[in-house]
Structure 1
Amino acid sequence: MCARQFQGLMSNSYSLQARMLTVNRFLPLDRLCAAFIGGVLAMPWLSPTWSLWWLLLLTGASFAICMYRHALRTTTVLAVLLLSALLCGICWSLFNVKMLNLWQLPNSQWREPAQITIQVQQVSVQYPERWQFDGIIIDAPQAWKLPRFLSQIAPTRVRAQWYFPPDISAPQPGEIWQLHARARPATGLVNQGSRPIQVRWVRERIRASVQVHDGELLRVPHMLRISAIRHEIASQVQQWQRSVDNPRGLDYTGFLLALMTGNRQYIHTHQWQLFQQTGVAHIMAISGLHLTLVFGFAWWLARLGWLSCALGQGRQSSYERHTLLTALLVAVAYAALADFAVSTTRALILVSFFVVTRCLGWQIAPLRILLRCVALLLLLDPFAWLDPGFWLSVTAVLAIFLWHWCAPWESRTKAGALQKIASLWRLEVLLTLALIPLTISYFQGIPWIAPLTNLWVIPIFTLLILPLCLLAALLIVLELLGVVGAAQIAYGLAYPADIALHSVIHGLMLSTYVPLHWQSVQDLRWSVIPLVWLVLRYWPGAMWQRLGASSVLSVTMLIWLQPPKPPEFAVHMLDVGQGNAIVIQRGRNALLYDAGPRFVGGFDTGRSVVIPFLRYHRLTPEWLVLSHPHQDHVGGAPSLTAAYPRMQVLETRLQGETSTDHSHSIPRRWPCEWGQVWRWQGVLIRALAPMPGPSFGPNNDSCVLLLEYNGQRVLLTGDIQRLTELRMVGRYEGSFQAHILQVPHHGSQTSSQTEFIDRVAPEVALVGAGFLNQWGMPHPDVRKRYAERRIPLFNTGDFGQISVILHRNRENEYNWLIRPFRQEIQPFWYLQQAKP
């Protein structure tokens, strides 16, 4: 939000009375706002099937009781009012949940060819091999049963994926396209440790995923539209990119474009990781910080202009209001250029509150302003709480307000330069400490070096890079309006900004050598100490209140950071789409069976799914078994071996490969061969395949492992098919029975033969397949075979991550506890899968 810059703008709104107020002394309006916020935040536990009318009747009855306040006690009236505000928040949440789920793609239209017309809203990926863009449905087939009134009150948004597009111009915001595509319900991967993309889709109100086969541009937007201006700015900035034809171009046009319009698609993934590790990702694209800076610059310039006019006319009474309104209009224009991004909208609401309070002369405590801003934001955008930036922004601003409480602005304006730098340093440390719980939850780590990096990066962006980018964007707009030569001047301004970005990025790369650039969750229990100091130093109230608050915080954090007792033995099949990644957990150690796929465009499930899962459970992987060299099984292996260099790798060696010297390879690699037996953490592991003799293809040469722990068996089969299954039946007869079976080859029709299933005789069958995958896996015949034998079949495409935990009861007997992600781990409505 407006984290570090908002302090100066709020300085004059502090009074002695405001600083002496405690958190417990809310005005009635603030209490109602808090109750309304609580009702909205109850949204995860609601259900779209609930009746809204009963809640409305209950809310109306509570308001009716308040009408007879003369016959009730004051405390009773206040309690009923708070209940009414809480019910209003719940009703508002349930209404928006129902509106979001008002339309679902009919089952009969899943993956069926259709012709739709959409208006492009946002382009997020634009590579030669893949385009990804969001749009609003304007026209669709009658079979989609799309209510026409939705286009007015709740437009239906879809996300389009266009693989290997033709040699035409990519869709741009505002354009209207007619697409020939196949659609399916919007869904995503769900696993512990990583934020499900399905949450983001709900946040952005995307209701369907569309795979485009062909498309035609129908209409180009008018050039005065904001989307067209954004597109023209992007086109102009991209022409400045350094290339063979343009050796004197700029290197960091992606960052310049992100600062001008909020378009981040041209910033590489490894660069974002660098910014996150060093704690400066918040300044690399349009955010509340940038909007606040724009507001501050506009306010300062407007004050100079309006003050000179007011002095010339002899009137000085109203110039302050004029300057505030002028700066607010500039901030609104900048937010529109950023397409009213979530973080920008949050800052705009807070800045608007500041302008209103200053114009009307209200004396309101900053904490109350923050509370009312949050209530207004949730009223305008009830799904804002799904965004991690919402919680980070609110917490950061709350920390700044508490800091002002103990160190008022007036006491710092008289300080010297060194004292001001020290004050900013203390603020950076304060923000880093205050955000510890959230950074642990969302990022599984803390950028301890953030106070240092922000201390020198923010001034460079504030005083040099951002002003130059804004002036360059303004000049590009003037060029569009007919001012000849403005684009050349814009390039001249962008050039020093690019040089400054060079220095910033190289400095951040050097800072990663500092051992405090990132700490994982495993090292954070001692972080309770600085949090307790933070409460004792800045929490308002008497000393006994500070001691009480610090005690509650320390106990809560220690319980939260205390790692839960790991299961004795567990099998976790991760949701990686159409692929395979299984984690065998033995206490705090793990054996990985396959690493998941890596998709076109750079999405790596090894980096994005498997590693966050291991960090979430605080597991140390010791073995990585790669069943066979197909992309959906080994795509994430490079990321895993880079993150865990001591891990040993067991992989299938294809026929014709010559043995290599593994003594110098890191990690150590071994071939998977029939007959291997070893013991790992008390688990007996036997390699049953690849079978000796001729090869029948990479699938049939998969590394098949039988794991046994205290009489409980798990059979991991890779992608073996009919031939290898029957060969195993003939060679091993009944010696490879197992309680848990990984269904061979994702449940294809050429696998899971009846003889094989009968010999294994599993209690539970797990299959890793993508939701509505184009191969129709698991095949209906395979489902039927397991159903006839009353073997429950769990598919990651339907259930998400599937954890099967070995549980020992009081009688010292073992049984398996099955925990599907969508039904057991996080059974929230917005994570449920569409059902056929």
Structure 2
Amino acid sequence: MAIQAIIFVLGVWLFQQMSFIPSIFWLLAFIPLIFCAYRFVVIRRVAFHVLALALGFVWAGLFASWRLADALPYEWESKEVELVGVVATLPQVIENGTRFNVNVERVLTPGAHVPEHIALAQYADGFSEIKKPTDLLAFHAGERWHLRVKLKRPHATMNPHGFDFEAWALERNIRAVGVVRKASTNQRLSDFVWRPTYMIEALRERVQSRISQVLKGRPYAGVLQALVMGDESEITQEDWQVFLRTGINHLMSISGLHITMLSGIAFAFVMALWRRSSKFTLKLPARKAAVVAGVLVALSYALVAGFSVPTQRTVYMLMVFAFALWSNKPVDIVKVLAYALFVVALLDPWAVLAPGFYLSFGAVAIIAYALGGRLGQSHWFTAAVRTQWVVTLGLVPLLLLMFQQISLISPVANALAIPIVSLLVVPLSLLGAILPIDGALWLAHWLMQALMLALKWMAALPLSTWQQQAPPVWTFLLAMFGLVWMLLPRGFPLRLLGVIFFLPLFLVMPKAPEEGAMLVTVLDVGQGLAVFVRTHQHTLLYDTGPQYTSLTDAGGRILVPYLRAEGVKRLDGLVVSHNDNDHSGGMRSVLSQVPVNWMASSLPQLPAELRNIKHLTCFAGQQWTWDGVRFEMLSPDLTSYPDKAIKDNNRSCVLKITSVSGSALLAGDIERPVEMRLAENAGSSLKADVLIVPHHGSRTSSSETWIEAVNPKTVIFTVGYRNRFGHPKPDIVARYLRRNIKTYRSDENGAVLFNFNAKSGWSEQAWRNTHCHYWHDK
């Protein structure tokens, strides 16, 4: 049955690779045929395996069909709707507002349909009807509210190597996202709705309030909050970088390790006490009592942490292990792991999409394979060191495949951090958060502060982290084979030859364009612009996308991961067209994490912390050639810089890139006056095959004269989904379409990749079109 359980999970995984939801009726009809085949002994085993695969596929399909059916209709996007709902989660403080989930009970707007589970935010900023933070409504978990909201479907940026927000939202059953609108009808209807899930969220809110009060102003209060409640919103970017570089980021949330450790402590404690009482032991064996205690502690911790999807996976896994211990049978780790996989996939078919699913089960599987039956043969310290070594080595292929980086000091950092965090900081934090024992929280914070001193020192070491390109899947499979070979028991010959199978994982680089050719990737950064250009031996980034909040921007969230996955260790050039946030907002993150040879821009001056960068002022007439590809700056004129009346948009760096097979024109946010000047003065040099539409399709740009002068074959509108500016304007889109110009929109097509091949001409690929799954908004 263990093999069938794994095959069932494989069926679930296969369904999650589908680009559409197929009709599952033919599969349902196929199942009786498999039962018929089961009667014949010769093919019975094969039929049973096929049945398990089909059941996994069908099960995932039923779940997906049911969840996707509750969707926000397109016609109700960006329209105001009144509804009654209950605040279903602990409200999370974000920049200029709050964010929370709502369970919708009634829709008051006639004709409107709203999904049952939605995510809302309220903001106080210059673009909102709520102007001051004091005007924000005070939401609390479990309250019933009458609200006016504006919603849209879950839709996010889509890029190579990017985070899939739409899959994340589907797994958490968030079927619409939106904002609370200012209205006189917004009012609290009930102080609290008595339901177990809301009661848990209310308890979590009290725990959060207590941590905030006791540790007010302390630097690592946000870390303790994350460890107790799974709320990572108050961990600073600087601290996250330390955790990532030291490889302990998995500890700074409600990880499976914490839950397992606490459950193990409860198991050992109850076991030690229970077996000392003959009365208790006669009623219930000590091991069974300890199993119950361990499960209850794990479940309680998970509930305080919000019972998030990753937490659920850990609890389900522990329950399977607990059942195996309860049954008084020898624990077969392979079977228990297989059944745990089955339970997790059965209850959460989207778990097979999450990196944590593979890392958690992979770590257990590696330990079971490498150390099964061998730990008892050595001293406990030797066993602990060997376990750490095995897990570190075993997760290298997975970490490089998923994140393109590994921490070289992770074994040392984890050896220090795991006992301090899991055995001391987490229990003390829970004790002080739930009970009125302030000293426990202070002690936990002091321990965390001391640990951070050591971690920051480790993170600052020059070789603390290895970063590289995203390896092809075949190199990952080869490395896994090498790993299996290397971890064979002592006595097997030539185990070190397994290292050879690891080498392609590190050495196979993305194929570079030929001499005279180039790759141009117009990334999807929302309402903004970022274009990556690669020639045979050089790379250039044009614009860095927007800054989303004071803590996040397109540079850190999209560009740096993309560049790392593409194997870019250094940028030869960076051009920031002008000073608007949607073009320069990610600049700090890029420059702080990726070395750059030089930077050109029309910015009046760089921020103080970036003034050590070699900076050039862009102006018409600049040109250079890389690997047979010509780069020309067409605007602005150098003489225009002293003129303070010129808008930032019209001082955008306009860059023309010409390869042997085609050209691309990157025009920033120039408006009609600059377009007319360029059309008049630039002549044939303005013509280009691919055009990034100026100013995102605003009516201030894309004049008829400009379009005729450039005469592009393909244009891209770089816009955010349902952005507040209404870009691109319909009449501007129509202006290009009337000339039979092929158009792309980043909000509809995701990143657009152009391959200007030296031999076969140029071609394009829209990422959302070619790499979509059934959950992606089309």
- Give the structure-2-normalised TM-score: 0.90
Deviating runs (4+, > 6 A) in structure 1? 523-533
Aligned partner (choices 181, 189, 214) of residue 213 of structure 1:
181
Residue matched to 1:140: 107
Q: The residue matched to 2:520 in structure 1 has which SS?
A: strand
Partner of 1:586 in structure 2?
535
Deviation (angstroms), 1:542: 9.8
CA positional deviation for 1:734: 3.5
Q: Distance in 1 between the 2:78 and 2:535 partners?
A: 40
Among 802, 807, 811, the alignment partner of 2:752 is 802
2:10 counterpart of 1:38: yes
Deviations 1:52-98 (A, max 9, x none): 222111123322432xx2xx22x401111111111101101111111
1:81-120 aligned within 5 A:
81-120=48-87
Q: Report how far residue 124 of structure 1 moved.
A: 6.8
- The one-character-per-residue Cα deviations of 1:378-434 (angstroms, maximum 9, x if unpaired) are 0011111122111100110101111332514x324xx3xxxx323212211211111
Aligned mate of 1:433, from 347, 370, 393: 393
Alignment of 1:828 with 2:777, yes or no, is no
Alignment of 1:321-340 (within 5 A): 321-340=288-307
* Equivalent pair of 1:133/1:161 in contact (CA under 8 Å): no
- Return the offset for 1:442: 2.3
| 1:210 positional shift | 0.3
**Aligned partner of residue 207 in structure 1, secondary structure:** coil
Give 1:133 deviation, angstroms: 2.0
Q: Tell me whether 1:362 sits opposite 2:329 in the alignment.
A: yes
172-181 or 285-294: bigger deviation:
172-181
Answer with 636-645 or 604-613: which moved more: 636-645
Question: Match for 1:37: what amino acid?
Answer: V
Given that residues 92 and 99 in structure 2 are in contact (C-alpha distance below 8 angstroms), is that contact kept between their aligned partners in structure 1? yes
Query: How many equivalent pairs are there?
Result: 754
Q: Take 1:124 and 1:509, find their aligned partners in 2: how far apart are those partners?
A: 31
Q: Distance in 1 between matches of 2:342 and 2:497?
A: 27
Q: What amino acid does structure 1 have at the position aligned with 2:453? A: H
Identify the residue that residue 205 of structure 2 maps to in structure 1. 231
Q: Identity of paired residues, percent? A: 27
Equivalence for 2:577:
627
Does 2:738 correspond to 1:788?
yes
Give distance in 2, aligned partners of 1:156 and 1:794: 32
Tell me the secondary structure at the aligned position of residue 177 of structure 1.
strand
Displacement, 1:329? Answer: 2.1
Q: Distance in 1 between matches of 2:76 and 2:259?
A: 43
Alpha carbons of structure 1 residues 531 and 183: separation in structure 2 relative to 1, 3 Å: closer
Task: Report the alpha carbon displacement of residue 637 of structure 1 after superposing the two structures with TM.
Answer: 1.1
How far apart are the structure 2 equivalents of 1:424 and 1:387?
28
Asked if the contact 1:116–1:139 (Cα under 8 Å) also holds between the matched residues in 2, the reply is: yes
| Greater Cα offset, 625-634 or 334-343 | 334-343
The residue correspondences of 1:523-602 to structure 2 (distance < 5 A) are 534-539=483-488, 543=492, 555=501, 558=504, 562-567=508-513, 568-602=517-551
Cα distance change on mapping 1:756 and 1:639 into 2, 3 Å: same
Q: Give the CA deviation at 1:143.
A: 5.7
CA contact (8 A) 1:739 1:764 kept: yes
Structure 1 unaligned segments of length 5 or more: list them. 1-28, 244-249, 476-486
Q: Match for residue 22 of structure 1?
A: none
8 Å Cα contact 1:175/1:219 also seen in 2: yes
Does the 8 A contact of 1:597 with 1:632 survive in 2?
yes
How far 1:464 moved relative to its partner?
Answer: 2.2
For 1:480, the equivalent position in structure 2 comes to: none
Counterpart AA for 1:330: V
User: Is the CA contact (8 Å cut-off) linking 1:535 and 1:550 kept in structure 2?
Assistant: no
Instruction: Give 5+ residue unaligned stretches, structure 2.
Output: none
1:188 is aligned with what amino acid? A
Mapped to 2, the partners of 1:194 and 1:725 lie a distance apart of: 34
Cα gap change, 1:668 to 1:515, in 2 (>3 Å): closer
CA distance in 2, matches of 1:562, 1:57: 45
- Aligned match of 1:499 in 442, 446, 454? 446
Relative to structure 1, is the Cα distance of residues 359 and 103 closer, same or farther in structure 2, using a 3 angstrom cutoff?
closer
Q: 1:11 matched to which residue of 2?
A: none
- Change in Cα spacing, 1:257 to 1:128, as seen in structure 2 (3 Å) is same
The alpha-carbon distance between structure 1 residues 541 and 49, as it changes in their structure 2 partners (threshold 3 A), is: farther
8 Å contact kept, 2:2–2:339: yes
Per the alignment, in what secondary structure is the counterpart of residue 315 of structure 2? helix
Q: Please state how far the C-alpha of 1:308 moved relative to its aligned partner.
A: 3.6
Work out whether residues 16 and 350 of structure 2, in 8 Å CA contact, stay in contact via their aligned partners in 1: no
Cα-Cα RMSD: 3.0
Distance 2:354 2:122 in 1: 23
Q: 1:562 to 1:184 in 2, by over 3 A?
A: same
- 8 Å Cα contact 1:402/1:540 also seen in 2: no
Deviation of 1:170 (Å): 4.1
Residues 277-676 of structure 1: matches in 2 within 5 Å?
277-309=245-277, 311-312=278-279, 315=282, 318-405=285-372, 407-408=374-375, 410-412=376-378, 415=379, 420-475=380-435, 487=436, 490-521=437-468, 534-539=483-488, 543=492, 555=501, 558=504, 562-567=508-513, 568-619=517-568, 620-652=570-602, 665-676=611-622
Q: Hey, what does 2:119 align to over in structure 1?
A: 158
- Give the drift of 1:453: 0.8
One-letter amino acid of the counterpart of residue 35, structure 1: I
Whole-Å separation in 2 of the counterparts to 1:696 and 1:523: 43
State the distance in 2 between where 1:442 and 1:119 align. 37
Amino acid at match of 1:511: M
Query: For residues 646 and 235 of structure 1, what CA distance do their matches in structure 2 show?
Result: 44
Output the CA distance in 1 between the equivalents of 2:150 and 2:59: 34
Distance 1:615 1:331 in 2: 37
Summarize the Cα distance change of 1:86–1:427 in structure 2 as closer, same or farther, 3 Å threshold.
same
Distance, in Å, in 2 between the alignment partners of 1:769 and 1:287 is: 37
Cα distance change, pair 816–157 in 1 and its aligned pair in 2 (3 A): same
Question: What are the superposed Cα offsets for residues 129-167 of structure 1, whole Å, 9 maximum, x if unpaired?
Answer: 1322222222225566548xx8xxxx4333435344642
Amino acid at match of 1:458: I
AA aligned to 1:730 is E
Matching residue's letter, 1:518: T
Task: Report SS of the residue matched to 1:324.
Answer: helix
2:119 aligned counterpart, secondary structure: strand
Contact 1:622 1:646 in 2 (8 A): yes
Q: Match for 2:74: what amino acid?
A: N
Would the aligned equivalents of 1:705 and 1:717 in 2 still touch at CA under 8 Å?
Answer: yes
1:6 matched residue in structure 2: none
Q: Deviations over 1:469-521 (max 9, x none)?
A: 2222341xxxxxxxxxxx2xx10111111111111111100111333321111
Whole-Å separation in 1 of the counterparts to 2:260 and 2:573: 50
Kindly indicate whether the alpha-carbon contact (under 8 Å) linking 2:662 and 2:761 is maintained by their aligned counterparts in 1. no
Tell which deviates more after alignment, 356-365 or 521-530. 521-530
Residue identity in the other structure for 1:101: L
Spell out, residue by residue over 1:807-829, the C-alpha distance to the aligned partner (whole angstroms, 9 max, x if none).
244xxxx52211111112x2322
In 2: Cα distance, 1:142 partner to 1:85 partner = 45
- Counterpart mapping for 1:22-37 below 5 A: 29-37=1-9
In structure 2, C-alpha distance between the alignment counterparts of 1:523 and 1:617, rounded to whole Å:
6
Relative to structure 1, is the Cα distance of residues 644 and 380 closer, same or farther in structure 2, using a 3 angstrom cutoff?
closer
CA contact (8 A) 2:215 2:442 kept: no
Normalising to structure 1: TM-score of the pair?
0.84
